[in-house]
């Protein structure tokens, strides 16, 4: 799926929440302050805690991301498949960014291929984006 400029802006300028599920069906939800747009069809963030979200992604690679702007009452839900980057250019760039900004080095950089998008604003909540 291709992200619109409105979607990219929403991700890049608002706190995003990530939902994952373990193989046993236990859900995990948490904020990811480093969520950002990688390109027209991928999102990424810096996984620093390597906690339950990381373990769920390692187990099955399924993810759902919610990004919402409360002031504008607009938002999006992104579903996708994750590839975990532990080395290579994406990981190295994330580590360099963390070092330059006095942030904790990421354990891994999840890159999400967006496969489905839904609206979160009141008039269209839960409806699929058809773009």
Query: Would you say residue 63 lies in a domain?
Result: yes
Rounded to 5 degrees, what are φ and ψ at 18? Answer: -115, 135
Region 101-105 average pLDDT = 88
Query: Would you say residue 59 lies in a domain?
Result: yes
**pLDDT of residue 131 exceeding 80:** no
- Residue 21 has a pLDDT of 95
pTM of the model: 0.92
- Residue 127 has a pLDDT of 92
Domain count, the chain: 1
Query: Would you say residue 127 lies in a domain?
Result: no
The 3-class SS string of the chain reads CCCCHHHHHHHHCCCEEEEEECCCCCEEEEEECCCEEEECCEEECCECCCCHHHHHHHHHCEEEEEEEECCCCEEEEEEEEEEEECCHHHHHHHHHHHHHCCCCCCCEEEEEEEEEEEECCCCCCCCECCC
Query: Would you say residue 126 lies in a domain?
Result: no
Render pLDDT for 3-51 as a digit per residue (tens, 0 to 9).
Answer: 999 999 999 999 999 999 999 999 999 999 999 999 999 999 999 988 8
- Residue 87 has a pLDDT of 96
**pLDDT of residue 121 exceeding 80:** yes
Query: Would you say residue 91 lies in a domain?
Result: yes
Query: Would you say residue 131 lies in a domain?
Result: no
CATH number at residue 110: 2.30.110.10
Confidence of residue 94 (pLDDT cuts 50, 70, 90): very high
- Domain extent at residue 28: 5-119
Query: Would you say residue 95 lies in a domain?
Result: yes
Confidence of residue 130 (pLDDT cuts 50, 70, 90): confident
Query: Would you say residue 129 lies in a domain?
Result: no
């Amino acid at each position: 799926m291709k992200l619109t400029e409105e979607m990219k802006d929403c991700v890049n300028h608002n706190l995003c929440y990530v939902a994952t599920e373990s193989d046993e069906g236990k859900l995990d939800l948490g904020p990811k302050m480093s969520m950002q747009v990688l390109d027209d069809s991928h999102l990424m963030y810096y996984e620093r805690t390597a906690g339950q979200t990381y373990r769920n992604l390692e187990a099955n690679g399924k993810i759902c991301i919610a990004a919402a702007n409360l002031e504008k009452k607009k938002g999006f839900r992104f579903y996708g498949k994750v590839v975990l980057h532990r080395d290579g250019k994406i990981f190295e760039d994330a580590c360099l960014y963390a070092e330059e900004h006095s942030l904790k080095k990421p354990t891994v950089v999840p890159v999400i291929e967006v496969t489905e998008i839904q609206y979160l604003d009141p008039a269209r909540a839960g409806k699929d984006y058809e773009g």
